[in-house]
Each structure stands twice: as C-alpha cells, then as structure tokens.
Amino acid sequence: MNKRQFLGSAALAAAALPASGAAMTMRGPALLTITGDIKRSNRGALDPVLDRMMHNQKISFSKALALDFAAITALPAVTIRPTLEYDSKPHALHGPLLLDVLALAGARPGDAAKLVLRAVDGYAAALTVAQARERRFIVATHLDGQPIPLGGVGPLWAVYDADRVPEMAAKPLPERFASCPWALYHMEVEGNAQA
C-alpha cells in the first residue's frame, strides 16, 4: 500500500470517530482496548478493581481508546483469503487494516515502533509497525462471511494473508500464524515516533 492510500484510509478511519474530546457512544461492550503511545482516548486509567483481566495480565495504562464492534466494523474493510493451518483450506477473513484501527487512537507510529497484540487467553504477539504494514495485518471481524464467535477464533482476530507473503508462504502452515492472536482484545503501541 502506498503512502497516499494509507493516509486516505487513515483519514477515513479518523472520520469514523467524533472529534477528539467528544464522548464516543458505545453501543456494545468494548472488544478492543488500545493503549500506549496514543493521542486519542475515551477512557481513563486501568482500574485494578474492575479491569480484572487486564490487571491479571499485567497491563497498565493511564488512558485508552476502547472500541466496540460497531466502531471497528465502521472502518473500511478488506477481505483476505489465507490458507489456514486448522484445515489447510483458504478462508475469507474480512476486517479493517490493523494500522487503520490504530489510527482511530491517533497513533501514527513510526516503522520501528513495536505493537503488542494480546488475546483473552493471555497469548501475546509483538510485531513492528513495518511488519504490520508489509504483511497487511487486519483485525478480522468476519470469517467466511460470518461474525466470529468468542470460543472460536473471534470475535476479533489479528491476522494476515500468509499465502501472499513469500517469506511466510515458504514455511509450513503451522509456522505461519504465531503472530496472529485470535480472541484479540488489547493492542499496545510502544514508540510513536513518526518517520
């Protein structure tokens, strides 16, 4: 994706949220909480009393952008068709680019910035912004046209089209998706330096 396209989709992404300062209306529970070096937030610090799962997973933050399903599905989405390791068959995965989701938080991290993607079972994967862009990571909201169950690989899955990344397509299927947490619920941005 070239820079113009990226900026275009990031601008669209920003338009999906009210101007900073305005409260974002949550229609459903927060499914994804973005913390770290962000500029736009809609909630305050981690509450060790009630934010139990994040507290238990040693997450801490002073502010965060919490997104419900509607906020994520309001973004422009793409469809990818990677062969999955579970049945060795291609499946349609649909959702916004992960970097467009981060843009909702006003995060325009430089290529070397680190992203930590964390799932409800405590599994976490780290990748750089450059990797997220080059591998075209998405936050999948739909699998084969359907919303993805919690208890399956959803409701959100950070995933990419491994078949279309030569370096990863060369690996055996079970080695292609280690950086793809299913049941994604938290993303942290470390280092917001704009290149």
Ligand X SMILES: Nc1nc2c(c(=O)[nH]1)N[C@H]1C(S)=C(S)[C@@H](COP(=O)(O)O)O[C@H]1N2
Report the interface residues with Mo ion, using CB under 5 A. 178
CB count within 10 Å of CB 87 equals 9
Residues 6+ apart with CB under 8 A from 33: 43, 54, 64, 65, 66, 67, 185, 186, 187
Is 66 or 158 the residue whose CB approaches ligand X more closely? 158
Which segment (53-61, 75-83, 103-111, 178-186) binds ligand X by CB under 6 A?
A: 178-186
Phi-psi region of 5 (alpha: psi -120 to 50; beta: other; left: phi over 0): alpha
Q: Does 185 bind ligand X (CB under 6 A)?
A: no
> Which residue matches tokens 């419900």?
68
Q: Does 61 bind ligand X (CB under 6 A)?
A: no
Q: Are 47 and 63 in contact (CB under 8 A)?
A: no
Q: Does 150 bind ligand X (CB under 6 A)?
A: no
The distance of closest approach from Cβ of residue 29 to Mo ion in the complex, given in angstroms and rounded to an integer, is 29
Q: By CB under 6 A, how many residues form the interface with ligand X?
A: 10
Which one among 15, 45, 53, 178 touches ligand X, defined by CB under 6 A? 178
The distance of closest approach from Cβ of residue 176 to ligand X in the complex, given in angstroms and rounded to an integer, is 8
What residue spans of 20-179 are helical by DSSP H? Answer: 52-56, 69-73, 98-104, 129-134, 166-169
The alpha carbon of residue 136 and the mean position of all alpha carbons in its chain are separated, in whole angstroms, by 11
Site string for ligand X, 77-116 (x = CB under 6 A): ----------------------------------------
Q: Which residues of this chain interact with ligand X, rule CB under 6 A?
A: 119, 121, 123, 174, 177-178, 180-183
